[in-house]
Amino acid sequence: MIIYLSKRYARMFRIRCPKLTQLFNNKVEREPRLSKLGTIVSKSENGSVVEEAGAVPRRAILKSANGYLYSLLLDISGHDIKCMEISKEFVISSVATNNSESRPTINDAAQLAKLRLSSLVPPDRVEALSYVVAHDTAGYGPISMILEDKQNIEEIEINSPQSPVIVYSTKYGRCITNLRFSGEFAFRSAINRMIAENEKEINENTPIIDAQVADLRLHAQMRPYAVSGATASIRVGGRKEIDLGYLLDRHTATPDILAYLWLAIECKYNMIVSGAPASGKTTLLSALNAFVPSNEKVITVEEDVNEIKGSGIGNVIALYGSRYNSVTPKEQVINALRMRPSRIIIGEMRGDEAKDLFMGANIGISFAATMHSNEGGMQILKKLMVKPMCIDIKGIGALDIAIYMKQVDISRRTISGISEYRWLSRAETSEGTCLGDEDMVQVNEIIKECRIDRSALKESKLVGTYSRINGITAKDTLREFEKREKLIEKSADHSRSNSVEEAIRKYYGW
C-alpha cells in the first residue's frame, strides 16, 4: 500500500525520485550476494559438430539450422550451481583471510575451488565445476573462458548483460555461444577486473570506456547510453606481431604490391588506408612499418589503444589521445608536429585532427593514416572535404595515394585497390576532376582487385617521383621495382616470422 501511494503521489506532484522511479521500472539491479555466480553456462544446443577446439575444457563448433554455435561442453545442473556458489564463497573468504595485496590468479582460485567441491560433488565433476568458479571469481567470467581459445577468435561481442555472448570465429564467422552473464552487475564486475590495471572503471560517471588490455582492444558502454543496460566489443589481437610474411601468407597482398608500397614509403608519399571496419587496415599499416627507413623519427597517434606495432622502426614515439578525456587526438597531432618527426602515423583518422595532419604534410612531414570508408578513389577525397574532417581544398592536395582494403570472406582481407592522385596545384597534371574552383585532381587506379596494372605502373606518378629523387630513368626505376618484387617473393619463408623484414634490412645495409 505504501509503495502504491508513493508511485501515485510521485506522478501526481512530479516529485523527482530517480532511484525510486528506476526501482519501480525494474531498471536498477540490486547488488547480488558475493557467492552468486556471475557466469551462466547453458546446455549445448543440438547440432552437428564441425570442429572441436583444443582448449580445456572441451569446446566445439556446432552447425545448426540457426547457424554456427560455439559451445563449451559442460553439462551443468541446478545442483551443480548450488555447489559452485558454495565453492565460490569459500574461495572469496580464503582470499580475504590471506591478506595478500595481489589479486589471485585463475589457477589459484581453481585449486581453492577444487578443495571445497571435492566434498560436494562426484570426483569426475570437480575439474569442470572448479573451472567455471575460478574464471567467475578471479577471471572475467565468460570473457576469460573464451580467451583461452583466442587463437581461433577475432572478436567477442556482448549485446546485453543477459544475452548469450557472441564470438567472431576466424573460420566460421559470427557464432552464438552457450555462455552469458547473470546480469548487469556481473558484466560490470568482469569488465572492471579487465581494465583495473589501466586505472579505469565503467560506472555511472564514466559509462563509456575504451581500453587496451594486453593484445585486446575493449570498448564498453552502460546506461544511459546502452539501451540494453550494457554492451561491449572486445577485439582480440591474436598473433601479437603482424609481419609482411603474414600478409603474403593470407593473400592480403602480393610481392608486386608490397614492392610498390615499399617505393611509395621510401618516396615519403602521404597515404590513407581505407576500408570498412575489420577489413585489415591497421594490420596492413603495422606491417608496412618494416619499409620505414631506420634513421627516421616516427610518431604514432592513437585513441587510448596500441594497435600500431612499431617493429622495424628504429626511432618511434607513441602518443595517445581520447575523445572522452582532456587530451584529444587533434591536440596530440599538434604536439607531434612540434617534435620534428620524419613522419606521423595515425591509427584512425575521423575528426578534426585531419586538418592538422594535412597541414603538416604541406610543410613536408609525411603521414600514413587509416580511415573508415566503403570506397576508395575519388570517394576518399569527398569524405575528407566534408564534416567532421573538413579539410581545405588547398590542403587536400598533399595526399599521394589511397589504399582500399576489403574483406573477401570470413578469414581473408585483401588490398582491393590503390589509387594515385595527381594534382594541378603541384604541377602533376593539367587535366582531371575539378575540386571547386581551387584545384584539379586526376585519379589513376594502379591496383584493381589485388592485381597491379603493369601498363599503368609504367606511367605512374610513383615511377616519376622515384626517378627524379634518385636521378635515374623510368626504365631503371622499373628494374628496381622488379628487383624488390623478387626479393620479397624469394625471402617470404612462411615457416619463419620476419623473414621478409630481415631481407629488407640486409638490402639497405641496416
Place of cell 589521445: 321
| pTM of the predicted protein model | 0.78
Residue 148 is classified by DSSP as T
Whole-angstrom distance, CA of residue 500 vs CA of residue 508: 13
Residue 148 CB neighbour total at 10 angstroms: 19
Whole-angstrom distance, CA of residue 272 vs CA of residue 27: 44
Return the pLDDT at 452.
92
Place of cell 606518378: 461
Please state, in angstroms and as integers, the Cα–Cα distance from residue 121 to each residue in 76, 89, 185, following that order: 12, 16, 28
Return the pLDDT at 321.
83
What SS3 string covers 422-448? EECCCCCCCCCEEECCCEEEEEEEEEE
Beta bridge partners of 417: 404, 448
Return the pLDDT at 47.
79
In sequence order, which residues have a C-beta less than 8 Å from that of residue 454 and are 6 or more positions away? none
Question: Number of H helices and number of E strands within the chain?
Answer: 18, 21
Report which of 324, 319, 349 is spatially closest to residue 337, judged by C-alpha positions.
319
In sequence order, which residues have a C-beta less than 8 Å from that of residue 283 and are 6 or more positions away? 242, 247, 252, 413
For the chain, give the number of residues.
Answer: 510
Whole-angstrom distance, CA of residue 48 vs CA of residue 339: 58
Q: Are 73 and 59 in contact (CB under 8 A)?
A: yes
Structure confidence by residue, pLDDT tens digits, 322-371: 766 678 899 999 999 999 999 999 988 988 899 999 999 999 999 999 99
**Per the CATH hierarchy, to which homologous superfamily does domain 244-508 belong?**
P-loop containing nucleotide triphosphate hydrolases (3.40.50.300)
Torsion angle of alpha carbons 447, 251, 171, 496, nearest 10°?
-150
Residue 284 is classified by DSSP as H
Return the pLDDT at 304.
61
Return the pLDDT at 166.
96
Pairing verdict, β 48-53 and 59-64: antiparallel
Whole-angstrom distance, CA of residue 451 vs CA of residue 418: 10
Report which of 365, 344, 343, 361 is spatially closest to residue 397, judged by C-alpha positions.
361
Can you spell out the DSSP letters for 454-478? HHHHHT-HHHHHHHHHHT--HHHHH
Query: Letter for the amino acid at 115?
Result: L
Return the pLDDT at 143.
96
Beta bridge partners of 158: 232
Q: Where in the chain is the domain with CATH 3.30.450.380?
A: 39-236
Report which of 415, 380, 443 is spatially closest to residue 281, judged by C-alpha positions.
415
Fold of 39-236: Beta-Lactamase (3.30.450)
Query: Letter for the amino acid at 369?
Result: A
Return the pLDDT at 16.
46
Return the pLDDT at 238.
53
Burial label, 203 (beta-carbon count in 10 A; 0-12, 13-18, 19+): exposed
Q: Where in the chain is the domain with CATH 3.40.50.300?
A: 244-508
Q: Are 371 and 349 in contact (CB under 8 A)?
A: yes
Cell of 389: 574532417
What 3-state class would DSSP assign to 502? helix
Report which of 209, 234, 207, 222 is spatially closest to residue 29, judged by C-alpha positions.
222
Return the pLDDT at 198.
83
Q: How many Cα atoms occupy the beta-carbon half-sphere of 118 within 13 Å?
A: 6
Residue 407 CB neighbour total at 10 angstroms: 16
Q: Are 282 and 307 in contact (CB under 8 A)?
A: yes
The pLDDT profile of the chain, 510 residues, written as one tens digit per residue, is 344 444 444 444 344 444 444 444 444 455 666 778 999 999 887 778 888 876 667 889 998 877 899 999 888 989 999 999 999 999 999 888 877 667 889 999 999 999 999 999 999 999 999 999 999 999 999 999 999 988 889 899 999 999 999 999 988 889 999 999 999 999 999 999 999 988 889 999 999 988 888 888 899 999 999 999 999 999 987 555 678 988 998 889 999 999 999 999 999 999 999 999 889 898 899 899 899 988 899 999 988 666 776 555 668 888 988 766 678 899 999 999 999 999 999 988 988 899 999 999 999 999 999 999 988 889 999 999 998 999 988 899 999 999 999 988 877 899 999 999 999 999 999 888 898 777 899 999 999 888 899 999 999 999 999 999 999 999 999 999 999 999 999 998 777 778 888 999 888 876
First to last CA, the chain: 82
Report which of 474, 358, 337 is spatially closest to residue 423, judged by C-alpha positions.
358
Structure confidence by residue, pLDDT tens digits, 154-211: 899 999 999 999 999 988 889 999 999 999 999 999 999 999 988 889 999 999 988 8
Q: Are 237 and 216 in contact (CB under 8 A)?
A: yes
Secondary structure of the chain: what % helix, strand, coil (to 5)? 40, 25, 40
Residue 188 CB neighbour total at 10 angstroms: 21
